[in-house]
């Protein structure tokens, strides 16, 4: 066992077991990254992300976060995949278009509570880049510097974008909620519902 960077360094030196441990450590997170955004090809996208880490492992700087590099690769692969799926649309723009706008309908994951289902629906109805930002922050618990590296912007910009994305999420929750009780329950403990949902996404998508 070691830190991500220690395992990466051992991998660079030819230790295949270190590579396997590094992948095992992050496989569920990468799977979750794609599971709420696509309706097929999840395993292929996970494999493509890990392959990108193999071919580009020497680009990870010592001062960098491996998770930032990993999810940066996943984001690039997702953007390319969505472009191919939605290229017939002239208004393709991941800062504007949601997964649903692109004609992609991930199966509704098996969740235990109405609040979790509402949260999934709200995330999928947001612009893809906003959905990515929120899920990476609240599901994967990436830091502001890590998010800044992934999105290639300044940390201050990430803070502003997170604030806007959070407000936009609440707007979608209000629009999609079928009852005031459900809306209030979801908004009152939004972080807790997001945390509970995090663990269920991988389990449900693999059934």
Q: What is the CATH number of the domain that holds 76?
A: 1.10.1740.10
Each of the 207 residues of the chain gets a pLDDT tens digit; together they read: 678 878 878 887 888 888 888 888 888 889 889 988 888 898 999 989 988 887 777 777 655 688 898 999 999 999 999 888 766 565 678 899 898 888 887 765 666 788 888 888 999 999 999 999 999 998 899 999 999 999 999 999 999 999 999 999 999 999 999 899 998 988 888 888 887 777 776 665 555
Q: What's the pLDDT at 110?
A: 63
Instruction: Provide the whole-model pTM.
Output: 0.86
Structural domains of the chain, count: 1
Q: How many CB atoms lie within 10 A of CB 93?
A: 13
CB crowding 61-90: b at 16 or more within 10 Å, else e:
eeebbbbbbbbbbbbebbeebbeebbeeee
Q: What's the pLDDT at 176?
A: 92
| 136 contact partners, CB below 8 Å, separation of at least 6 | 33, 71, 142, 147, 150
CA-to-CA separations, 155 to 12, 58, 63, 143, 147, in angstroms, rounded: 29, 24, 16, 10, 8
Instruction: Give the residue numbers spanning the domain of 33.
Output: 4-205
Q: What's the pLDDT at 204?
A: 56
């Amino acid at each position: 066992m070691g830190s991500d960077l220690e395992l990466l360094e051992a991998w660079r030196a030819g230790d295949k077991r270190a590579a396997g441990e590094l992948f095992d450590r992050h496989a569920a997170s990468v799977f979750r990254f794609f599971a709420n955004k696509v309706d097929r090809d999840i395993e292929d996208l996970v494999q493509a992300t890990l392959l990108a880490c193999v071919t580009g492992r020497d680009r990870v700087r010592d001062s960098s976060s491996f998770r930032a590099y990993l999810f940066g690769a996943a984001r690039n692969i997702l953007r390319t995949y969505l472009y191919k799926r939605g290229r017939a649309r002239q208004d393709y723009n991941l800062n504007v278009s949601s997964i649903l706008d692109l004609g992609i309908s991930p199966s509704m994951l098996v969740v235990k509570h109405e609040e979790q289902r509402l949260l999934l629906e709200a995330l999928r109805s947001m612009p893809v880049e906003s959905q990515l930002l929120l899920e990476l922050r609240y599901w994967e618990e990436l830091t502001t510097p890590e998010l800044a590296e992934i999105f290639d912007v300044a940390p201050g910009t990430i803070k502003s974008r997170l604030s806007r994305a959070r407000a936009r999420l609440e707007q979608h929750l209000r629009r999609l909620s079928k009852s005031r009780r459900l809306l209030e329950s979801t908004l009152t403990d939004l972080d807790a519902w997001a945390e509970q949902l995090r663990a269920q996404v991988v389990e449900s998508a693999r059934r």
